[in-house]
Structure 1
């Protein structure tokens, strides 16, 4: 569905809190992060698809997942160019590129330019922002 524009999913804060665990809510709605090596999927080696925990949109494939050594699930590319949106993040006296779900605007993590070929990118995602669907 590359190139297709979808309407953003919008819910009230109360609806998000009802639909997500406290950890998921903190990461996705409050732009939080889990501690390294503590969240789900950082060491998952099974084949499948990683979906947004808040809306279910397919975001990343196990085919692009790699062990970055950081303690978070890392990918060198999203499933589709339009699966995620990128935003300038200047929190904590740093400038980074935030990654959000393009469908529901959930915070997923950050992307860095120190990843492997073929893209050279490292999409460093919070496991609590993802659900894994095994092949």
Structure 2
């Protein structure tokens, strides 16, 4: 089973989402920063990335999204932020985010976004 990677510097959000995903039967890898995630280096067994936008350590969620597009272009990414709509949303979607969620969000809303992001794209005829 491919893992869901949760990347968020807020420990309560990270652990809460990790627990909700595990309860749904997902294999979960949790990281406190984009740097920590990128240091892992193995993108082969990732089914979806769920990342915050603003994190410490010099790698934002947008940086992580751009790097993921280079190293694992087919890996779906769900972006979460407390910053709302606007430039962050536009940038995330332009970089290929499959979903953009404003915090606070219910675990169900995030789980639904992950399910939608992992669904294969339907090609138009």
Q: Give the alignment's TM-score, normalised by structure 2.
A: 0.26
Which of these two proteins has the greater Rg computed from alpha carbons?
A: 1
Q: Give the alignment's TM-score, normalised by structure 1.
A: 0.25
The structure with the largest helix share of the pair is 2
Q: Which has the higher contact order (CA 8 A, sep 6+)?
A: 1
The structure with the largest strand share of the pair is 1
